[in-house]
Amino acid sequence: MSEQHHDHGHGGHEHSEPGEMDLRVRALESVLTRKGYIDPAALDALIDTYQTRIGPRNGARVVARAWVDQEFHDWLLRDATAAIASLGYTGRQGEHMVAVENTAEQHHMVVCTLCSCYPWPVLGLPPTWYKSAPYRSRAVKDPRGVLADFGTVLPESTRIRVWDSTAEVRYLVIPQRPEGTEGMSEEELAALVTRDSMIGTRRVEAPATPGSAA
């Protein structure tokens, strides 16, 4: 099947025929509406949900809580589905959650080599790169190369652990809490946590110190 895998997988083609895809989607929506299969208002509600309500800020709150609350931290590692649900994040593509914690010794990364499996309730919709052929093909064989694409360099002594989501279990990486954040509130900590750090392609950076050039 390798002849199918020439290098067009990562995007470029989406803009090649302006208007063609718009017309095709509009035609389909029109037919489905006329046939009564869909409620157009439900489409708007779905889009609004994933553009404004469900995104990586949910996961950031989970991580920040785990950083400040040892009991929640332990619960999250023991039964992530229940611990995450206690903060109100449940449902589609997050029915069965497992949390894995980064340390100086071990760094976790998540991929779906077969498609795009991703924990929607805590991270929202996956970014394009997560679904792309370069990420899916390389994450399980050359994760340090993938990390380098994100500007992330880990010591060779840090073991890399890649989780390939091949069933309906979804993984959330708890990034390492950066040094220098001891006095920060849960809310301030959540603001530091990025989507990519919860997939495992970046680390969480400490905030710039007040008065520094940054």
Residue with tokens 């997050």: 94
Q: Which of 86, 116, 132, 137 is catalytic?
A: 116
Q: What distance lies between CA 51 and its chain's CA centroid?
A: 14
Length of the chain (residues)? 214
Considering the complex, what minimum distance in angstroms separates the CB of residue 188 from other proteins?
18
Considering the complex, what minimum distance in angstroms separates the CB of residue 65 from other proteins?
19
In one-letter notation, the amino acid at residue 78 is R
Q: Is 115 a catalytic residue?
A: yes
Q: Which of 115, 157, 185, 212 is catalytic?
A: 115
Q: Is 116 a catalytic residue?
A: yes
> Among residues 14 and 182, whose Cβ is nearest to other proteins?
14
Residue with tokens 């064989």: 141
Q: Which of 117, 132, 137, 165 is catalytic?
A: 117
In one-letter notation, the amino acid at residue 200 is G
Alpha helices in 35-177 (DSSP H): 40-48, 56-68, 70-78, 80-85, 120-123, 128-131, 133-138, 143-149
The overall longest dimension of the chain from CA atoms, in Å, is: 62
> Do 73 and 186 touch, CB atoms closer than 8 A?
no
Considering the complex, what minimum distance in angstroms separates the CB of residue 179 from other proteins?
23
Considering the complex, what minimum distance in angstroms separates the CB of residue 147 from other proteins?
9
> Among residues 72 and 138, whose Cβ is nearest to other proteins?
138
Alpha-carbon distance of 42 to 32, in angstroms, equals 13
> Among residues 69 and 82, whose Cβ is nearest to other proteins?
82
Nearest to 95 by CA among 71, 125, 117, 65: 117
Give the catalytic positions in this structure. 112, 115-117
